[in-house]
Amino acid sequence: MMTERNPALLEPTVQSDAALRRSRLLLHASEALAATSTTSDVLATVPALLRDALSATHAAVVLAGITPSPRGPGVAVSDALTGTAIRDRHSQYYESPMDLMIVHPGLAEALDDLGWQAAVCAPLPDQAGAVLIAWDEPQTFYVFDRAVIATLALYIGQALDRAVKHDARAAITDTLQQAMLSQLPDVDDYDLAAYYRAATAQRVGGDWYDVIPGPNDRLALVIGDVVGHDTAAAAKMGQLRNMLRAYLVDRREPPSALLRRLDAANHALGEPTMATAVVAFIDRAPNGGYRLRWSNAGHPPPVIIQPDGEVRPLTGNDMLLGARRGSPRHTYTAPLPAGSTVLLHTDGLVEKRGQTIDDSFDRLYRRLRVRNFGMPRDLLTRLAGEMPADRDDDIAMLAVRIPGRL
């Protein structure tokens, strides 16, 4: 004999199922928003997330002062509906076209064009904005629905707050890095090119380069790398770079003497910064032609690329800066054939996971053995294009071509 179930006995199961759906929905939304980092990420993620979660026709985040383009009926409706929610800091629920017409009679034609039959505008906590959600059928917003929408608005507001702070930090580090990157001088006799790229996980780092013209056609080249890949490394790099710049402009001394001065100041002005660097001069040789004079403080060796493709790494390496006070430093000299190119780079160009440093240098020199590779900028563009995107070290490169035949 069958008995009819009492509907009251089913209520706990129905409520349990609803609570489970709500938990899953909010968990999915939380995970999706946690994967965002920038404001653009959040604004791109939210519409699809809300449409899927709420079976909505339209969903968007509207931020005050940011007007979509081009303007149209959707923008006019969005401005009107969200404006009230943002101003009053209270969610607006429109369950039918009649509800929309009563509150916003001037939007009848635009709403008809859009086909919206119901809408919700929920203000974002601590943000001058709101979430706008619309459906093409009338809706009934029960307490459960309103709680879900309010929680989603809270999650979106938190994600935007985090993203805005991320964007502000990124803007600061970009400005800092651009301020620290040197502009190449305009010199008549030499073709110059430089390249810098911060590590993927950071937007600022401790690598730097400099080119400073001097008397008698002398060209001073500098490349360096402060230990670390963050804002602190960039700040320390800025201190070393500016001190060395002053010495290069003020002193008429060989590269080794300049690095000795720099390291002495490095030790004297507090906790010494650990860094590698090369200071090199390109100038006229006494017997004609050009020469390179350089001093190397623990840095990857400079490279001479001759017009016939021969590659010559320049050995001669002293202690890195900051390691030991009063470390001896030496100046080395090499002739520069007409049409050859001097390449300075940081270790980010050669370091590769799973490969020894010697193998990495051999691989670089094989890539450089190209006859008539073109202008220095062509060389650096090619080298940069061959680098993997997911690097964990900064890269700086500086190339100078010596006057003469190619």
Mean pLDDT, the chain, integer: 85
pLDDT > 50? residue 69: no
Residue 66 is predicted with a pLDDT of: 58
Instruction: Enter the pTM of the model.
Output: 0.67
Quickly state the pLDDT bin for 71 (edges 50, 70, 90). Answer: very low
| Sign, Cα dihedral of 64, 69, 71, 75 | negative
Quickly state the pLDDT bin for 215 (edges 50, 70, 90). Answer: confident
Residue 3 is predicted with a pLDDT of: 45
Quickly state the pLDDT bin for 13 (edges 50, 70, 90). Answer: low
Quickly state the pLDDT bin for 180 (edges 50, 70, 90). Answer: low
Q: Name all domains of the chain by residue range, CATH numbers in brackets.
A: 14-172 (3.30.450.40), 183-401 (3.60.40.10)
Closest CA to 181 of 394, 348, 352: 394
Region 215-226: what's the mean pLDDT?
90
